[in-house]
Amino acid sequence: MIKDLWYKNAVIYSVHVGTYMDSNADGIGDFEGLARRLDYLHGLGVTCIWLGPFQKSPRRDDGYDISDFYQVDPCFGTLGDFVEFTNQAEQRGIRVMIDLVVNHTSDQHPWFQEARRDPASKFRDFYVWSDKKPENADEGMVFPGVQKTTWTRDPVAGKYYFHRFYDFQPDLNTENPLVLAEIRKIMGFWLELGVCGFRMDAMPFVISTKGPQPRHRLRYDMLRSFREFLQWRRGDAIILAEANVEPKNNLHYFGEDGDRLQMMFNFWVNQRVFYALATADIKPLVKALEQTRDRPDNAQWAHFLRNHDELDLGRLTEEQRQAVFDDMGPDKDMQLYNRGIRRRLGPMLRGDWRRLEMAYSLLFTLPGSPVIRYGDELGMGDDLTLPERNCARTPMQWSTEPLAGFTRSSKPVLPVIEQGPYGFHKINAADQRRDASSLLNWTERIIRMRKEVPEIGWGDFKVLDTGNDGVLALRYDWRNNAVVTIHNLRNESTEIQIRLADEKGRQLVNLLTQDHSQAHGRGVHTIVMEPYGYHWYRVGGLGYLLERSNE
């Protein structure tokens, strides 16, 4: 039974267990530590936790290289600790979604070990082989600059194997029905242990045909079979896909009739949000919102600002990308894979809290469900001395205690940020909790407000004309209720006019301050927007609702 389309209005919090909270002083965050922090997350108001990979792994790609899909890596605890954690989350009404990394395995996975050793093994065909190095082997790398090829020779097999990502991540052959059966089994296993669904890693690559031939097809039909399996096992479980694709393909992923994936990250909008933040030009963002408007009623976008990877700007024009680089990642060292920025949100917005609040407020009012990243609720920074994406994966800063209260060991799994404006003496949860005007308390308030405005998740949006390319105004309508949200991306105040044609649109009740607005003329509101200002209004307000019910 589908109880509710809970994901239409979820507030998702992304966390890696290893860098959140260490309970046993070995320097590595663990499930016991994470479970102890559930009250913090409950207080913040998030409704779903997305857990990065925690299964057994050599951890050469932060766990996205799994060597046993059915084990918790011992450094994080046991399966028992995991179930305690999901149970305690459930007690607080928080769902737990986990990464499902089945495009590839670690090269240490017994399947791969077996496959390379024994040509007769059923596991040989779990992977993708070629006798010769294919002609296009040096194309299509996901990590250009670090990764040299997508085909590497395995001396044991005497053949080349395909790896879309690093060479220690051989791709699974998802055309093999035995592999698909394993994927279902893995999903079924974790569902039994209490998860509400999966963030499916590298989705377009999972469904692609693979092999030395130059042309490949996408097997979209696979998506429906994943969904069916999931829903047979647990009606309200979902798949949230990592699929950085062009808008014309969105419906292939969601399914025209909403019979494929429930959720996808909206990378298309994400890149244009950053362009808008960098240049205060909302035009490409507005276009992107229109281009990604189409989706089945039961499907939802996941919107985000930063995640655990680099900010991928690969789908902007050269000029647009350069504009974002210039503003937010000018040094080569801040950039990655020729396409992105590897920093955290705080430093990208130069630690300007007005801008951070505005950026977050914008995120929370985009048509979909918001996904936030641990530490961003504090404005945490990055450590650019760490390689690749690790710079934005440093441990959570809990307090001013040694090593930010993350661990009592002197050897944290990744360095804790100590120096400078983002060091834990300056930025930590304990201090911000006591300060009513902190980003942490602000985030808590905006999450509460987002939950009170279900129109954003359920409704239809309209972009309102403000006559100003630096100000985005959206209106959402759902079940006779409406809200209007306005964001000023410029660092200067401005006066805008918006027109709401309907009668109830004469009154706009501000949900965040006392500053309401009354229309003049034919439904025109004149509104002053502060530098980086953001306003959320309920159309008609409570008064209007009361009047209607007296009729």
Catalytic machinery residues: 201, 242
DSSP helix/strand/coil, 519: coil
Q: How far is the CB of 237 from ligand NOJ (least distance, A)?
A: 21
533's torsion region: left (phi>0), alpha (psi -120 to 50) or beta? beta
User: For residues 274 and 424, which CB has a smaller minimum distance to ligand NOJ in the complex?
Assistant: 274
d(C-alpha 510, C-alpha 508), whole Å: 6
Among 22, 73, 81, 201, binds ligand NOJ (CB under 6 A): 201
Q: How far is the CB of 101 from ligand NOJ (least distance, A)?
A: 5
Q: Is 165 in the site for ligand NOJ (CB under 6 A)?
A: yes
Q: How far is the CB of 165 from ligand NOJ (least distance, A)?
A: 4
d(C-alpha 71, C-alpha 81), whole Å: 11
The residue whose Cβ lies closest to Ca ion is 30
The residue whose Cβ lies closest to ligand NOJ is 64
Choose among ligand NOJ, Ca ion, none what residue 26 binds, the Cβ cut-off being 5 to 8 Å by kind: Ca ion
Q: Is 276 in the site for ligand NOJ (CB under 6 A)?
A: no
Choose among ligand NOJ, Ca ion, none what residue 124 binds, the Cβ cut-off being 5 to 8 Å by kind: none
Pick the closest to residue 411 from 22, 26, 77 (CA basis): 26
User: For residues 6 and 127, which CB has a smaller minimum distance to ligand NOJ in the complex?
Assistant: 127
Q: Is 444 in the site for Ca ion (CB under 5 A)?
A: no
Choose among ligand NOJ, Ca ion, none what residue 201 binds, the Cβ cut-off being 5 to 8 Å by kind: ligand NOJ
User: For residues 308 and 373, which CB has a smaller minimum distance to ligand NOJ in the complex?
Assistant: 308
d(C-alpha 41, C-alpha 45), whole Å: 6
Q: Is 64 in the site for ligand NOJ (CB under 6 A)?
A: yes
Contacts of 449 (CB under 8 A, 6+ apart): 364, 511, 512, 536
The first and second tokens of residue 60, run together, are: 């050469």
d(C-alpha 433, C-alpha 449), whole Å: 18
- Residue 379 is given by DSSP the state T
Per-residue b/e over 345-358, b at no fewer than 16 CB within 10 Å? bbbbbeeeeebbbb
User: For residues 154 and 242, which CB has a smaller minimum distance to ligand NOJ in the complex?
Assistant: 242
User: For residues 307 and 517, which CB has a smaller minimum distance to ligand NOJ in the complex?
Assistant: 307
Residue ranges of alpha helices (H) inside 436-532 are 439-451, 455-458
Q: Is 483 in the site for ligand NOJ (CB under 6 A)?
A: no
The first and second tokens of residue 215, run together, are: 């042309």
User: For residues 30 and 242, which CB has a smaller minimum distance to ligand NOJ in the complex?
Assistant: 242
Choose among Ca ion, ligand NOJ, none what residue 123 binds, the Cβ cut-off being 5 to 8 Å by kind: none
Among 48, 49, 101, 496, binds ligand NOJ (CB under 6 A): 101
Q: Is 22 in the site for Ca ion (CB under 5 A)?
A: yes
What is the full DSSP assignment across 491-508? SS-EEEEEE--SGGGGEE
Among 2, 24, 297, 419, binds Ca ion (CB under 5 A): 24
User: For residues 204 and 402, which CB has a smaller minimum distance to Ca ion in the complex?
Assistant: 402
Q: Using the rule CB under 5 A, give the single segment among 29-37, 129-137, 147-155, 315-323 that binds Ca ion.
A: 29-37
User: For residues 265 and 275, which CB has a smaller minimum distance to ligand NOJ in the complex?
Assistant: 265
The C-alpha angle 148, 150, 154, rounded to 5 degrees, equals 95
Q: Using the rule CB under 5 A, give the single segment among 14-22, 121-129, 326-334, 465-473 that binds Ca ion.
A: 14-22
Q: Is 30 in the site for Ca ion (CB under 5 A)?
A: yes
> Beta 494-499 vs 507-510: how paired, if at all?
unpaired
Q: Is 383 in the site for Ca ion (CB under 5 A)?
A: no
Q: Which burial class, exposed, middle or buried, applies to 514 when counting CB atoms under 10 A from its CB (0-12, 13-18, 19+)?
A: exposed
Q: How far is the CB of 397 from ligand NOJ (least distance, A)?
A: 22
Pick the closest to residue 408 from 20, 16, 24 (CA basis): 24
Q: How far is the CB of 208 from ligand NOJ (least distance, A)?
A: 14
The answer to whether residues 52 and 63 touch, using CB atoms and an 8 Å cutoff, is yes
d(C-alpha 342, C-alpha 387), whole Å: 10
Among 5, 26, 78, 354, binds Ca ion (CB under 5 A): 26
Per-residue b/e over 134-154, b at no fewer than 16 CB within 10 Å? beebeeebebeeebebbbbeb
Strands (E), 61-181: 68-72, 95-100, 129-130, 151-154, 159-162
How far, CA to CA in Å, does 249 sit from each of 260, 291, 294, 302, 508? 13, 11, 11, 16, 37
User: For residues 30 and 357, which CB has a smaller minimum distance to Ca ion in the complex?
Assistant: 30
Q: Distance between terminal CA atoms of the chain?
A: 38
Choose among ligand NOJ, Ca ion, none what residue 22 binds, the Cβ cut-off being 5 to 8 Å by kind: Ca ion
Choose among ligand NOJ, Ca ion, none what residue 28 binds, the Cβ cut-off being 5 to 8 Å by kind: Ca ion
Q: Is 411 in the site for Ca ion (CB under 5 A)?
A: no
Number of residues forming the site for ligand NOJ (CB under 6 A):
9
Strands (E), 222-308: 238-241, 263-265, 300-304
User: For residues 274 and 537, which CB has a smaller minimum distance to ligand NOJ in the complex?
Assistant: 274
Q: Using the rule CB under 5 A, give the single segment among 3-11, 23-31, 465-473, 482-490 that binds Ca ion.
A: 23-31
Q: Is 309 in the site for ligand NOJ (CB under 6 A)?
A: yes
Q: How far is the CB of 163 from ligand NOJ (least distance, A)?
A: 10
- CB neighbours (10 Å) of residue 451? 15
Among 30, 61, 107, 154, binds ligand NOJ (CB under 6 A): 61
Q: How far is the CB of 76 from Ca ion (least distance, A)?
A: 7
Phi and psi angles of residue 243, each rounded to the nearest 5 degrees, phi first: -145, 100
Binding site for ligand NOJ (CB under 6 A): 61, 64, 101, 165, 201-202, 242, 308-309
Contacts to Ca ion by CB under 5 A: 22, 24, 26, 28, 30
